[in-house]
Structure 1
Amino acid sequence: GTADAVRQFIWVFEDPRNKNIEHVLILSGDQLYRMDYMDLVQRHMDTRADITVSCVPVDDSRASDFGLMKIDKVGRIVHFSEKPKGSVLDAMKVDTTIPGLSPYEAKNFPYIASMGVYAFRTEILLNLLRWRYPTSNDFGSEIIPSAVNEYNVQAYLFKDYWEDIGT
């Protein structure tokens, strides 16, 4: 999984030459999109987030295919559910005007889905991978759902073209 792949390269983050790197951006390789990562990083810094999850608005027809998140009034992720179904899916609807959709857009896109693109404070990432979740393999299904209860995990809404091309 994605977390295990990053864990294999912890040595890069712990190398003395990289000791001043305060934040790490983790990208997924099975998506097609064009993002200015500085916007994501700026949101991460402005909110003093430990973790920022890049997300996209989705409609009812696609919602159960993705990790969905609920946010509070300031965009902090308070719940994360990987590919929910049934009543759990219905419970994941949010007011998508909070992260910036118009009321019309929000009516059509009542869910916020993870893109699998993350910004982490380096020390938090290392703590999660090495000590808190040393056997977890995936950010979306294992680490992020638990991290929202312990850390400042923020949502960054990406409103441009995005398509998941993974299998």
Structure 2
Amino acid sequence: MNTTNCLAMLLAGGEGKRLRPLTLTHAKPAISFGGQYRLIDFPLSNCLNAGIEKIGVLTQYRAETLHQHLGASDSNITLLPAGSKQEEGYTGTADAIYKNIAYIDQLHPENVLILSADHIYHMDYRDMLHFHNSQKAAATISVIRVPLEEASRFGIMSVDADRRITAFREKPRRPESNLASMGIYIFRWSELRELLLQDAADPESSHDFGKDIIPRLLKGQARVYAFPFEGYWKDVGTVDALWRTHMDLLGSPAQLALNPPTWPMRPAGQTLQNEMLRMEDDRGSASLLHQHCFLEGRARRSILSKGVWVGKNSLVTDSIIMPNAVIGKNVLISHAIIGEGAVIEDGAIIGGSRKQISVIGNVSQEEHQGGWNAYTRGYREGVNGYDRASFGN
């Protein structure tokens, strides 16, 4: 399928409040994943592997963390930050696209592919684009079946025998279907452009694709279709989901292949060799360790990222240690996410459970290098908010 006349727009401006404290210092799509990647690398790699030649990345919250990651990116990738003034900021997913109409117009795409920049999956968008064009659709939404008890978290739709969408409800309280939107849309640009202009002029609109644009299309009897996806896909918008998705990397076989040879990860447009090693010995069992981490202690069912240091007699179990974190000696960590650059003091005990994952927030590079005061930036996610954790430099 020829993708040269399709522009991809990655929505990467979200604040990610449900991922705090990790998102206190990083944009949600810039959160580390799998030891050597970031969340945005998944949809970005999907685009590049599918031959999509032009990609716009819309940034807003903590934009500098994404700009740093993508700064040396492929020339096909354009960063589109929100304006610095409040009235220039993106107020919704549809508003973000609306405020970049001039950028899109200059590229003259036939279709626009709109993606969330923080979902974990491998997908060939060419298949969806072929279906979209074959149906002469105004819009196509990629969908996946979810457990009915989870359906209220998603945009839910009903379809006819031809997969044409007959009804759509954003996060219904009592869902009647389990066919969920994945936040992946293809629009014919000429039709989407007109819709965005109408939506921007509507004072009652929240300027959101799920709440406003899709219902407006359906109300106008436009041809809107559902494209089914049956592969692995996870929305990692919560601490629990981020932890569980990481654990899916550790099975035998793993539910998610981190860097499949036929569909390589390409962070910032660059092909990167898989540097994660599966450990099955006395030091690390059922674990993934980056080849540039240092393990003096032991790891069980855990992921140790690039630049991580684990001191003597420390035990890390069922946990994710993000890049450049330092774990001292005689430390016990269980069911936790340790943020980038965090420093855990000797003898600390950080223990969560499958129902309540403990989280230590990220640290900026300057703080990490300069000696960091744990009691001002360290957090453990608890029932009543964020409690101070016992760790330091």
> Into which bin does the TM-score normalised by the smaller protein fall?
0.7 to 0.9
The aligned counterpart of 1:77 is 165
The aligned counterpart of 1:144 is 214
Is the Cα–Cα contact under 8 Å of residues 77 and 153 in structure 1 kept in the other structure? Answer: yes
SS at match of 2:162: coil
Using CA pairs under 8 Å that are at least 6 residues apart, name the structure with larger relative contact order, 1 or 2.
1
The aligned counterpart of 1:37 is 125
Residue 30 of structure 1, CA deviation: 2.2
The aligned counterpart of 2:199 is 133
- The normalised TM-score by structure 2 is 0.35
The aligned counterpart of 2:181 is 114
Is the Cα–Cα contact under 8 Å of residues 33 and 161 in structure 1 kept in the other structure? Answer: yes
Is the Cα–Cα contact under 8 Å of residues 52 and 120 in structure 1 kept in the other structure? Answer: yes
Q: Distance in 1 between matches of 2:218 and 2:142?
A: 14
Q: Distance in 2 between matches of 1:77 and 1:148?
A: 8
Residue 166 of structure 1, CA deviation: 2.3
Q: Distance in 2 between matches of 1:3 and 1:36?
A: 24
Moved over 4 A (4+): none
Paired residues, what number? 142
Q: Of the two, which has the highest radius of gyration?
A: 2
**Structure 2 residue identity aligned to 1:6:** I
Is the Cα–Cα contact under 8 Å of residues 25 and 120 in structure 1 kept in the other structure? Answer: yes
The aligned counterpart of 2:230 is 159
Candidates 146, 149, 152, aligned match of 1:61: 149
Is the Cα–Cα contact under 8 Å of residues 3 and 139 in structure 1 kept in the other structure? Answer: yes
CA RMSD for the aligned pairs?
1.3
Is the Cα–Cα contact under 8 Å of residues 78 and 149 in structure 1 kept in the other structure? Answer: no
Q: Distance in 1 between matches of 2:131 and 2:148?
A: 27
Is the Cα–Cα contact under 8 Å of residues 54 and 156 in structure 1 kept in the other structure? Answer: yes
The aligned counterpart of 1:97 is none
- The normalised TM-score by structure 1 is 0.81
Please state if 1:14 is matched with 2:84.
Answer: no
Residue 120 of structure 1, CA deviation: 0.4
Q: Distance in 2 between matches of 1:84 and 1:47?
A: 28
Identity of aligned residues (%): 42
Q: Distance in 2 between matches of 1:133 and 1:120?
A: 15
Q: Distance in 2 between matches of 1:164 and 1:148?
A: 25
**Which ranges of structure 1 fall in alignment gaps of 5 or more residues?**
94-110
Q: Distance in 2 between matches of 1:166 and 1:119?
A: 22
Q: Looking at secondary structure, tell me which structure has more helix per residue.
A: 1
